[in-house]
Amino acid sequence: MAIRFQWCRSLGAEDFPTTAYEQLRTQVPDATPFNTLAWLQAAEFALLPDQQLQVLLGWEDQTLCLCLPLVSGRERIGGLRFRVLHHLGYPLADRIALLVHLDAEGMGQALMQIRQHLPHVLLQLNEVVEPVGEESVLSAWMALSSTGERRLSCRVPVHLISDSDRQEISGDPRYKLRRARKRIAACGAQIRRVTPDAISIGLLLHELAEVEAASWKGEEGVGIFADPRRRQWMNHAFTALAAQGLVRVVMLELDGRCISYRLGLLDQGRLYDYNLAFLPQHADLGSGRVLLEEWIRWGLDENWRWIDASRVSLENSSHQLHERMTGQLEHWRWSFYSWQPAGLILGVALRLWKSLKPWLRQRPGAQATASVSPTPSQENTHASPSDRQR
């Protein structure tokens, strides 16, 4: 059946097929809260003036089989600025599934539509999860690009909640957890679970943002509330998600004030541990590990199935869920360079860099040499849920 393509300038436009979108999203098993319209519309609202959103829709008869919201902007690569496309939500969407039900031929047609409507040098899709054991629908774009790259972004620890979690964890983590609990009890702090609604979420986000601002994330400017644009994005997104009952928070409070928290999104029995922060003067409490344990206990009480770190560092991750993980999920970054002269040059530069990188690593002093890759700088540094909590 022929694919009918349509472009839409906004997810809030009158002609955007909201009902069809929700039907498509629910049919994609790996869809996450970052695929919801609540999240994406908030991301659209926070776009910069020089960023342009275009949504590609694909129809088979009256059935929506493709929705790809793309943001076009100019990014610096190798000291020069080029036109780059990203999936809406970058760089704060920790995990997305592509809402696509097309075969390889249909995907090829979709890429041609994108190139005609949104000329670009590089199309990059970040933090993409794919069905295990199945070939990605994006594979069809590799042969149609001057250069294509599929690169592992991270391996995310996940924990399957089971009755064994009712027993105390064994080994070294048990003693770390016990020590943290003793410190927390000694200072009189209390753990609280919060399920905010659309009314209460505003004050809660203000409180969480103040904690983050005082933490190392605030000092380094890498938090989810780090600047006015991100804060606006988070306020709109979490207000809409709280109205749908998807937001969960575990907090450590001292004298009625939040001193540490973990912020998560609960969808279809899976808790995405999205962000955390703590006041530096209470860093020695070890609250992050205790609050992670509280996630698991909450999951036991309400029959959640999974606790996920929504994203971690690819190397040297110190997320506490590694101590409890029962499996891992892989996130991928797909890069497709166009046939424009700039795309051809950057593609050649990428291939050259990849061929030289092993040799450069073997040179004396290579560890002190900064790596420079011909791809846009990765700005997704809100340390989702950070590896630096102790």
C-alpha–C-alpha distance, residues 272 and 256, integer Å: 26
C-alpha–C-alpha distance, residues 320 and 314, integer Å: 15
| Domain extent listing, the chain | 4-155+330-368, 162-304
Range 9-12, long-range pairs (CB < 8 A, 24+ positions) = 9/53, 9/54, 9/55, 10/44, 10/53, 10/55, 11/37, 11/40, 11/41, 11/44, 11/53, 11/55, 11/69, 11/88, 12/41, 12/44
Cβ(292)–Cβ(306) below 8 Å: no
Question: What was the pLDDT predicted at 375?
Answer: 53
DSSP letters of 199-242?
Answer: TTHHHHHHHHHHHHHHSHHHHHT-STTSSHHHHHHHHHHHHHHH
Q: Which CATH number fits domain 162-304: 3.50.50.60, 1.10.3720.10, 3.40.630.30, 3.30.1510.10?
A: 3.40.630.30
Residue 219 pairs with which residues in a beta bridge? Answer: none
pLDDT tens column, 185-206? 999 999 999 999 999 999 999 9
C-alpha–C-alpha distance, residues 104 and 199, integer Å: 45
C-alpha–C-alpha distance, residues 13 and 9, integer Å: 7
Given this chain, do its domains 4-155+330-368 and 162-304 carry the same CATH topology? yes
Question: What was the pLDDT predicted at 170?
Answer: 87
Question: What was the pLDDT predicted at 300?
Answer: 98
Name the fold adopted by 4-155+330-368. Aminopeptidase (3.40.630)
Question: What was the pLDDT predicted at 387?
Answer: 41
Question: What was the pLDDT predicted at 315?
Answer: 84
Question: What was the pLDDT predicted at 386?
Answer: 37
Question: What was the pLDDT predicted at 390?
Answer: 26
C-alpha–C-alpha distance, residues 136 and 193, integer Å: 38
Question: What was the pLDDT predicted at 2?
Answer: 86
The dihedral sign for the CA sequence 287, 90, 53, 10: negative
> Pairing between strand 306-309 and 270-278?
parallel
CA distances (Å), 314 to each of 165, 330, 340, in order? 27, 10, 31
Short-list 20, 382, 58, 383, CA closest to 226: 382
C-alpha–C-alpha distance, residues 387 and 321, integer Å: 10
Cβ(353)–Cβ(335) below 8 Å: no
Residue numbers in the chain where pLDDT is lower than 50: 368-373, 377-381, 384-390
